[in-house]
Amino acid sequence: MVDQTPPVLSVKDLSFRYHSRQTLAIENINLDLHAGQVVLLAGASGCGKTTLMRCINGLIPHSYNGSMTGDVELFGQSVIGLGLSDISRRVGTLLQDPERQILGTYVLNEVCFGLESLGMSREEMLPRAMKALERLEIAYLAEKETYYTSGGEKQKVALAGVLAMEPDILLLDEPLASLDPASAHEALRAFRKLADEGLSVLIVEHRVEDVLAIKPERVVYMEKGRITYDGDVAGLVEVVDYGRIKLPADVVMRRSQGKPVKQFQPAVPKVDPESEPLVSFQDVCFQYGAENPQVLHGISLDIRAGEVIAILGHNGSGKTTTVKHALGLLKPTSGRVLLQGVDSKKLTVAESAHTIGYVFQSPTQMLFAPTVREELAFGPTNLGMPKPKMLANVEWAIKTVHLEEELATPPLALSFGQQKRVSIASVLSMRSKILMMDEPTAGQDYWNYQAFMDTILQTPGFDAIVFITHDLDLALTYANRIVVMYGGRIVADGTPQEVLAEDEQLHKWRLEPTSLLSLNRTYFERTGQFLRAEQLAQLIN
Binning the chain into helix, strand and coil, the percentages to the nearest 5 are: 40, 25, 35
CA distance 56 to 34: 14
Query: DSSP label at 128?
Result: H
- Sequence ranges of the domains in the chain: 9-252, 277-355+436-444+463-527
Per CATH, 9-252 and 277-355+436-444+463-527 having the same topology is answered yes
Domain covering 277-355+436-444+463-527, topology: Rossmann fold (3.40.50)
Q: Taken in order 129, 130, 135, 136, is the CA torsion positive or negative?
A: positive
Q: Angle at CA 172, nearest 5°, toward 14 and 86? A: 65
- Type of residue found at 318: G
Distance CA 170, CA 162 (A): 8
245 contact partners, CB below 8 Å, separation of at least 6: 42, 43, 44, 206, 208, 221, 445, 446, 447
| DSSP label of 148 | G
Q: Contact 452/396 with Cβ under 8 angstroms? A: no
- d(CA 60, CA 84) in angstroms, rounded, equals 10
Listed residue (154, 47, 147, 137) closest to 95, CA to CA: 154
**3-class SS of residue 309:** strand
Q: What is the dihedral of CA 34, 200, 95, 113, to 10 degrees?
A: 130
DSSP 172-224: EESTTTT--HHHHHHHHHHHHHHHHTT-EEEEE-S-HHHHHTT--SEEEEEET
Whole-model pTM: value is 0.85
Low-confidence ranges of the chain (pLDDT < 70): 1-4, 264
DSSP annotation of 34: -
Whole-angstrom distance, CA of residue 297 vs CA of residue 323: 14
What lies within 8 Å, CB to CB, of 387 at 6+ separation is: none
Helix segments in 48-92, DSSP class H: 49-57, 59-62, 84-90
Range 9-252: architecture per CATH:
3-Layer(aba) Sandwich (3.40)
- pLDDT value of residue 106: 93
Looking at residue 12, what is its pLDDT? 96
Q: What is the tens place of the pLDDT at every residue in 188-221?
A: 988 998 899 999 999 999 888 899 999 999 999 9
**Residue 23: which residues within 8 A CB-CB, separation 6 or more?**
17, 225
CA distance 230 to 268: 43
158: number of Cβ within 10 Å: 23
Expressed in angstroms, the distance from the first to the final Cα of the chain is 38
Per residue in 369-399, pLDDT tens? 999 999 999 999 988 899 999 999 999 999 9
Please, are residues 311 and 468 in contact by the beta-carbon 8 Å criterion?
yes
Question: How many Å apart are CA 336 and CA 345, to the nearest integer?
Answer: 8
Contact indicator for 152, 138 with CB cutoff of 8 Å = no
Cα angle, residue 224 at apex, residues 404 and 228 outer, rounded to 5°: 150
